Structure 1
Amino acid sequence: MRHTPRFLMTDPDDVRRLVRENPWATFVSPASTGLVASHYPVMVEDGDDITIVSHFGRPDETLHELGQHEILVIVQGPHDYVSPSWYAPGDLVPTWNHVTAHLYGTPELLSNDENYAVLTRLTDHFEHGRPGGRSLDEDEEGTRRIARGTVGLRLRVTRFDARAKLSQNKQPDVAQHVIAQLEPTNPALADEMRRVHGS
């Protein structure tokens, strides 16, 4: 990512929160055949380190050569265009506010049983609170058979590069005006801005 010290996110807890609230991730691998990208849901595991778990549908794990090298996982939080019309007269340059994290590490492939446990946790997590929510446990034999078409992974993040670009370079009154403009159409981004601007 562009080197912008003013917008750096350095607190691992902020990165964990970003992943928890935005669990659809992009996985990028420098495979021997060239760059490969795939998209899968992720979950953050409890612990001191940032560790995420996920699964790949076969044959993506082969295309990515999982476990053989470091990969990049991109997590994109709320983002939106910021119009210069929201600034003072004469300020003509638009921008894009966003919260983004790049996570790096070499994934560990999970055993079939560990993978099934992760798939069960992922499903339970996303089904929780839904009317008529389902669980893989309802048909363990059948869902274990289907799970064989996936490969589970655990990624202990060895380094991350994260940005929360949220109008920190603007005067407080301008930032508040941007928040007010975003609120009706992108309340999640407005909330992220409130978090850094203390409002």
Structure 2
Amino acid sequence: MRQNPSFAMTDAAEIRRVIEENPWATIVSAATGGLVASHYAVLLDEERDDLTVVGHVGRPDDAILGLGDGEMLVVFQGPHGYVSPQWYGDAPAVPTWNFVSVHLSGVPEILSADENLRVLERLVDRFEAGIGEPRGMWAAPNDEDFVRRLERGTVGFRLSPTRVEAKRKLSQNRPDAVVDTIIQKLDEGVTPYADPRLAGEMRRAHGAMRAAREGRS
């Protein structure tokens, strides 16, 4: 990912927030036949306070990805969307795309069966929590034999990244008035490009920038 110091995201707490809020990840590795990508839910390791993540892949994706044999890239895509030049006012401008993205790279550690089972259980609990009556992985009609077979069909991993690239390109190079207009357009819902989540990311980033400017003045 091409980095621009103006758009770099370096705060570990903010990077963790983006990962936590956008767990559906793209996993990329360089296999013998070329680049390979898979898509799975990946979570922060609850036993760590850094950027270590845990997840799983289904068999035979572990073999296709060469899981554990070399470096792997995990991409988390946050809110993103089109920004029209009309929203910049009368100044010359071209369209752009605002986005938030985190790339974690490193060689993953393969989890034991028990560790993988705990990760699978946590994944189910995480997403079932949004349902009125959550059904955990061990809840009926699932029985232990079913759950154990489920675990054997997957391979869990833990990735402690050796390289982190995080970027939020959210019109930081634009005047405050233009940023406020873009946020308004994204919030309004009158165009197909409206996205309140992206507007929220812009508010967060620009609020921090404005607070920093006021602190220096």
Shorter-chain TM range is: over 0.9
Name the aligned partner's letter for residue 157 of structure 2: L
Distance (whole Å) between structure 2 residues aligned to residue 37 and residue 65 of structure 1: 11
Cα distance, 1:90 vs structure 2? 3.5
- The aligned amino acid for 2:18 is L
Deviation at 1:188, TM superposition (A): 0.6
Structure 1 stretches lacking a partner, 5+ long: none
> Any idea what SS the aligned residue of 1:136 has?
coil
Number of paired residues? 199
1:136-179 CA distance string (max 9 Å, x none)? 12223312112211111111111211110000010000000000
Q: TM-score, normalised by structure 2?
A: 0.88
Q: Secondary structure at the match of 1:68?
A: coil
Following superposition, the deviation at residue 48 of structure 1 comes to: 3.5
2:99 is the counterpart of 1:85: no
Letter of the 1:123 partner, please give it: V
2:201 aligned residue (185, 192, 197): 192
TM-score, scaled to structure 1 = 0.96
Q: Contact conserved, 1:49 with 1:157, CA < 8 A, in 2?
A: no
Shift of 1:91: 2.2
Give % identity. Answer: 53
Q: CA deviation at 1:59?
A: 0.3
Given that 2:3 and 2:167 are in contact with CA atoms closer than 8 Å, whether structure 1 keeps it comes out as no
> Quick check: which one's strand share is greater?
1
Contact 1:101/1:163 (8 A) holds in 2: yes
Aligned residue number for residue 132 of structure 1: 133
For residue 153 of structure 1, what is the amino acid of its counterpart? F
Show the 5 A alignment for 1:1-199.
Answer: 1-46=1-46, 47-138=48-139, 139-183=143-187, 184=189, 185-198=194-207
Q: What is the alpha-carbon distance in structure 1 between the residues aligned to residue 90 and residue 55 of structure 2?
A: 48
Equivalent position SS for 2:78 = strand
- Alignment RMSD, CA only? 1.2
Secondary structure of residue in 1 paired with 2:138: helix
Q: Secondary structure at the match of 1:30?
A: strand
Between stretches 96-105 and 124-133, larger displacement belongs to: 124-133
Could you report, residue by residue, the CA deviation over 1:85-141 in whole angstroms, capped at 9, with x for unpaired residues?
001214231100000011111111111111111100110111014123211122233
Deviates more, 1:27-36 or 1:171-180: 27-36
Local SS of the residue matching 2:100: strand
| Residue 3 (structure 1) shift | 2.6
Give the whole-Å Cα distance in 2 for the aligned partners of 1:165 and 1:57.
Answer: 33
Q: Secondary structure at the match of 1:137?
A: coil
User: CA offset at residue 12 of structure 1?
Assistant: 1.4
Q: Which amino acid aligns with 2:51?
A: I
Separation (CA, whole Å) in 2 of partners of 1:153 and 1:110:
5
Equivalent position SS for 1:8: coil
